[in-house]
Amino acid sequence: DVKVTQSSRYLVKRTGEKVFLECVQDMDHENMFWYRQDPGLGLRLIYFSYDVKMKEKGDIPEGYSVSREKKERFSLILESASTNQTSMYLCASSFPGGNEKLFFGSGTQLSVL
Amino acid sequence: DAKTTQPNSMESNEEEPVHLPCNHSTISGTDYIHWYRQLPSQGPEYVIHGLTSNVNNRMASLAIAEDRKSSTLILHRATLRDAAVYYCILNSNSGYALNFGKGTSLLVTP
């Protein structure tokens, strides 16, 4: 079975901490994505990457950065966590191309206190 | 980026067919129409996709309008396990910003 694995299911951090959310896929996908999901707002794209060391901003990149040093791993970084970054974070991956399906991880519920 | 519009919520009785609509009036010729669903406490999962022709798989059917400005996901016999949020998105060869929006929350009642 293909897999997208997010390192933590639940995470609690304090305001001002640097937070790393890790995502690993085992399908050799070029594309990887980070979304956040909040009640009533659906999924919103934060950043995506279409190759190693490549990244593109999504709709809501403010307060976040990403790292893609290896093809299978895409990290989301909160440089200084704030309470408004409390959310469910979802990672996804796919091959390039409009007819390629996305595979999602189970999500990380981050609480910033 | 082309956007999609879906009703916020729909309700269905168990074992009845469900037709979930999606409007995408600004779709471009190379955009594929994808549907995903998200069960409670899980990440979204792929359901079906198509370009121009109607598509069937074991989960659902996808009916695409001739002008491609709308599509309908069809669940032939809804079960309680089909209660989820259904997302219609456009996936393009030329762009990577896959906007999911809010989707349609499907309630299935016994």
Answer yes or no: do B93 and A98 touch at CB < 8 A: yes
The pLDDT score that the predictor gives to residue B30 is 87
Answer yes or no: do A42 and B87 touch at CB < 8 A: yes
Per-residue pLDDT, averaged over A34-61, amounts to 91
In this structure, the dihedral spanned by the alpha carbons of residues A55, A56, A58 and A60, taken in order and rounded to 10 degrees, is: 70
Per-residue pLDDT, averaged over A43-60, amounts to 92
Q: What is the mean pLDDT of chain B?
A: 91
Q: Could you report the per-residue pLDDT of A64-80, keeping only the tens digit for each?
A: 999 999 999 999 999 99
The pLDDT score that the predictor gives to residue A98 is 80
Q: Which residues, other chains included, contact A12 with Cβ-Cβ below 8 Å and sequence gap of 6+?
A: A110, A111, A113
* HSE-CB of B102 using CA atoms within 13 angstroms: 9
φ and ψ at B82, to 5 degrees?
A: -85, -5
Per-residue pLDDT, averaged over A5-26, amounts to 96
Q: Output the CA torsion sign for B92, B96, B101, B104.
A: positive
Q: What is the mean pLDDT of chain A?
A: 94
**Nearest by Cα to B83 from B5, B22, B11:** B11
Per-residue pLDDT, averaged over B91-97, amounts to 67
The pLDDT score that the predictor gives to residue A99 is 86
Q: Could you report the per-residue pLDDT of B22-64, keeping only the tens digit for each?
A: 999 989 888 999 999 999 889 999 999 999 999 999 989 999 9
Please classify residue B72 by burial: count the beta carbons closer than 10 Å to its beta carbon, then call 0-12 exposed, 13-18 middle and 19+ buried.
middle
Q: Which of A31, A92, A98 sits opposite B30 (nearest CB)?
A: A98
Please check the confidence at residue B95 and state whether its pLDDT lies above 70: no
Per-residue pLDDT, averaged over B67-87, amounts to 96
The pLDDT score that the predictor gives to residue B24 is 93
**Which tokens belong to B18?**
């469900």
From chain A, the residues in CB contact with B99 under 8 A are: 45, 59
